Amino acid sequence: MLKFDDFASGVLTQEMAKAAAPPTELWDNKRGGLVIIECPKPIPCDPCHTSCPTGAVLPFEDINDLPKVDYAKCTGCAMCVAKCPGLACFVVDLTYGGEDEALIKLPYEMIPCPEEGMEVECLNRVGEPVATGMIVKVQEPQRDKTLVVHVVVPKSFVLDIRAIRVKSHG
């Protein structure tokens, strides 16, 4: 279990990211994907819980707690991705595509707006490009301005990719 002190820098290490990921035996076979929640700081926040239609993000004992997930209930709907004000929720579907591809559902609040079919740079937690991905869907949630961008990425980078950069057309 991760502790608040583990997040002093605000950027998760690879070991912390692995600890926040779903159990491998569930993750490898769950169609639609499973949520990964990477909260780096203790703050009073629970939109991931209140937005979850299946109750997969469990109620908080204390509003400052790190979220806990019942992965058996997670459908990969990405409602929490759109609602998280800290952009700390992601959905990863390892069953998508071929043996070397996965689908990541990422929050996106930048301009220009990505479009389906667009090739994008996939960035790690510190903003460095680590792979190229392809947008297959842009989900515009109701009553929220955060887009959820569905990006096909190399499966080997799913624990690294946490943002995208839309390439300019100029």
The pLDDT score that the predictor gives to residue 31 is: 87
The pLDDT score that the predictor gives to residue 10 is: 62
The per-residue pLDDT for range 155-169, each reduced to its tens digit, is 999 999 999 999 765
Lowest mean pLDDT among 15-19, 44-48, 110-114, 164-168: 15-19
The pLDDT score that the predictor gives to residue 65 is: 87
Work out the angle at residue 139's Cα, subtended by the Cα atoms of residues 137 and 142, and round it to the nearest 5 degrees. 165
Kind plus residue range of the DSSP H or E element containing 133 = strand 129-139
Q: What is the pTM of this model?
A: 0.87
The pLDDT score that the predictor gives to residue 29 is: 80
Kind plus residue range of the DSSP H or E element containing 83 = helix 79-83
Query: Does residue 16 have a pLDDT over 80?
Result: no
